[in-house]
Amino acid sequence: MTQFIGLVQGGNTVSDANTGVKSGNMQDVEIRGHIIDSLILPKVLDAITARGGTFRIKKISIGQKRSDPSYALVEVSAPDPTQLAEILRNISDHGATPVDDADCDLQPADVSGAFPDGFYSSTNQRTEIRVRGRWLPVNDQEMDCGIAFDPAKVEAYCVPMTDAEKGQLFVVGHAGVRVFPVDRPDERQSFEFMNSAVSSEKPKGVAIRQIAQDLYRARQENRRTLLVGGPAIVHTGSIDHVCQLIRKGFVHKLFAGNALATHDIEHALYGTSLVLCHLSILGLVAKHDSAMI
């Protein structure tokens, strides 16, 4: 493993004398794992500078083999504590953890169905919280939830807001929380983006023909089909096509997030969508070979 100390600084210079940055507006963070080839380190540094902060890489150790993890100790600076806290909140989702030995802040929910003010919003990545000096895994990992702590069982787990109960302890803020971003796969093939069933680099006509055949075969065999849809259905003017697939028995269930529902309601009420008007001007609406957004 190769080590460097005091290697890089970014943004404006972070010297106290030159910038007036106070020591209270600085925080050292650690980043571990495959932070180079998974682009985690560049994402962290970009997030710092994009939010008006500066960084100095105080120490970095780069793994020499594919299985070797890397490590970086980064000093983050900001003009004021509020801005620093915002930067730390953002980069924590990339696995940047403050080096201070601090437990997480646990606060009770004051009403059922709501989290305490300043609650930590979970990601879909493996997470741990520090309680009484001990790092605990967060169970039932799910995105956009609160992290509850059960002192009797000494367990942490994700809870949707609607399931929050009055008096239940939840993590507030980002102190004492660390996230483990997904590393790159162990094995990668050259031009791997061509290996997936659907790729923007492949002719879409081939994929569409195959999907149509599968849908027809499924209907003939009385099997049921689930469509996982996104807002591109609305953006590309394909609402009527999807409706026809449902009415004719090719699609039986539709799974989607709030984006599809929101844009569908907007289109139904006002006949508009985020980019539908721009696609119409370019003559790209409902053309299978046009770019999907």
Kindly indicate whether the domain formed by 2-98 is annotated with CATH number 3.30.70.2690: yes
Query: What is the tens place of the pLDDT at every residue in 118-165?
Result: 999 998 889 999 999 999 999 999 989 999 999 999 999 999 999 999
Give the best-scoring range by mean pLDDT among 204-208, 220-224, 284-288.
220-224
Is residue 285 pLDDT above 60, yes or no?
Answer: no
Is residue 175 pLDDT above 90, yes or no?
Answer: no
- HSE-CB of 211 using CA atoms within 13 angstroms: 14
Q: What percent of the chain has pLDDT over 70?
A: 77
Is residue 222 pLDDT above 50, yes or no?
Answer: yes
Mean pLDDT of 254-280: 75
The SS3 of residue 4 is strand
Edge-first strand order for the sheet with 146-150 is 105-108, 169-172, 146-150, 155-159, 134-139, 126-131, 177-180
Q: Tell me where in the chain the CATH 3.30.70.2690 domain(s) lie.
A: 2-98
Q: Which of 202, 229, 179, 164 is nearest to 289 (CA)?
A: 202
* Assigned CATH topology for domain 196-282: Rossmann fold (3.40.50)
55 neighbors 204 (Cβ within 8 angstroms): no
Quick one: DSSP state of residue 104? P
pLDDT, residue 293, reads 36
Q: Which residues pair with 126 in a beta bridge?
A: 180
Q: Tell me where in the chain the CATH 3.40.50.10690 domain(s) lie.
A: 196-282
- In angstroms, the CA 233 to CA 78 distance is 42
C-beta atoms surrounding 130 within 10 Å: 18
pLDDT, residue 184, reads 59
Which residues make Cβ contacts (< 8 Å) with residue 146, sequence separation at least 6? 115, 119, 120, 121, 122, 158, 159, 160, 161, 164, 170, 171
- Pair type for strands 134-139 and 155-159: parallel
Mean pLDDT value across the chain: 80
pLDDT, residue 282, reads 44
C-beta atoms surrounding 13 within 10 Å: 14
Mean pLDDT of 239-245: 92
Tokens of 167: 């008096």
Give CATH for domain 105-180. 2.40.420.10
Categorize the per-residue pLDDT at 181 as very low, low, confident or very high, splitting at 50, 70 and 90.
confident
pLDDT, residue 63, reads 82
Q: Tell me where in the chain the CATH 2.40.420.10 domain(s) lie.
A: 105-180
Query: What is the tens place of the pLDDT at every residue in 60-104?
Result: 988 888 778 889 999 999 999 889 988 988 898 888 888 876 899
Q: Say whether pTM exceeds 0.85.
A: no
Categorize the per-residue pLDDT at 183 as very low, low, confident or very high, splitting at 50, 70 and 90.
low
pLDDT, residue 99, reads 84
Q: Report helix, strand and coil shares of the chain as percent, to nearest 5.
A: 30, 25, 45
Q: What percent of the chain has pLDDT over 90?
A: 41
In which residue are the tokens 């006509």 written?
Answer: 205
Which residues make Cβ contacts (< 8 Å) with residue 21, sequence separation at least 6? 14, 54, 77, 78, 79
Categorize the per-residue pLDDT at 185 as very low, low, confident or very high, splitting at 50, 70 and 90.
low
